[in-house]
Amino acid sequence: MRVVIADDAPLFRTAVAHLLADAGVEVVAQAADVPTLVAAVETHRPDVVVVDVRMPPTFTVEGLEGARMLRNAHPRQAIVMLSQHVESHYVAELLRDGAAGLGYLLKERVADGDELIEALERVAAGGSVIDAAVVEAMLSAATANDPLATLSEREGEVLELIAQGRSNAAIARRLFLTARTVESHIRSIFAKLGLPEEHDDNRRVLAVLTYVRRPRRTH
């Protein structure tokens, strides 16, 4: 496997290069900025590019932009992005055109040579690798943005039946609950969704709208 490493810190680049060389990976070039990286890829056509998200001159998203440039020029180029911090929004930006052959790892993972090699092999084969800490952050953000996340399992079932147009009595029969219990669940749903105190028919409609607009999860 042939790799190009791009990072503005010489010591970090050298350490990664030695780690990869010890594992039998050929580091064909190193780059301290995006233009040098692009030129190295054009010259060597590596199997995988390892690039820091934050690169000169502004140390913001140059590395990410460089990765997108490379993918536009060479759609099958495998790339592993490295980041000092959990920045899940960068992952979404990186993967917006597809995840095949892409990876995103925290720099601390580089210390684990086996984990880094495994990531490189996976993206080189067309797979994808996202750091577990980043995935956790993304899931937490999705939950925070989902107004239904605070509902209990039973309240979710009640709301689903409300969305199907069922009356309180029908919901009670379907879930083997008393009418009073159903009313209690519905009051709790309204409260958790922050629906204003007004006619219950209006609040039912608003609750259904929240349900149908909820963030969709893909598997």
The range of the structural domain enclosing residue 90 comes to: 2-143
- What confidence tier does 207 reach under pLDDT thresholds 50, 70, 90? confident
| Band (38; pLDDT cuts 50, 70, 90) | very high
Domain count, the chain: 2
Q: What is the pLDDT of residue 49?
A: 97
Answer yes or no: pTM beyond 0.95. Answer: no
Q: Note whether 90 and 183 are same-domain residues.
A: no
Last residue of a domain, one of 117, 143, 169: 143
What does the pLDDT look like over 99-134, one tens digit per residue?
788 888 888 878 778 889 999 998 999 988 888 776
- The tens digit of pLDDT for each residue in 8-37 reads 999 999 999 999 999 999 999 999 999 999
Nearest-10 Cα torsion for 113, 119, 122, 124: -90
Contacts of 81 (CB under 8 A, 6+ apart): 51, 52, 53, 63, 64, 67, 90, 94, 102, 103, 104, 105
Asked whether residue 115 falls in the same domain as residue 180, the answer is no
99, 120, 143 - which closes a domain:
143
Q: What is the DSSP string of 132-156?
A: HHHHHHHHHHHHHT-TTTTS-HHHH
Rounded Cα–Cα distance for residues 83 and 50 (Å): 11
What are the angstrom distances between the C-alpha of 75 and each of 1, 140, 149?
18, 31, 37
pLDDT digit string (tens) for 67-86?
989 999 999 999 999 988 76
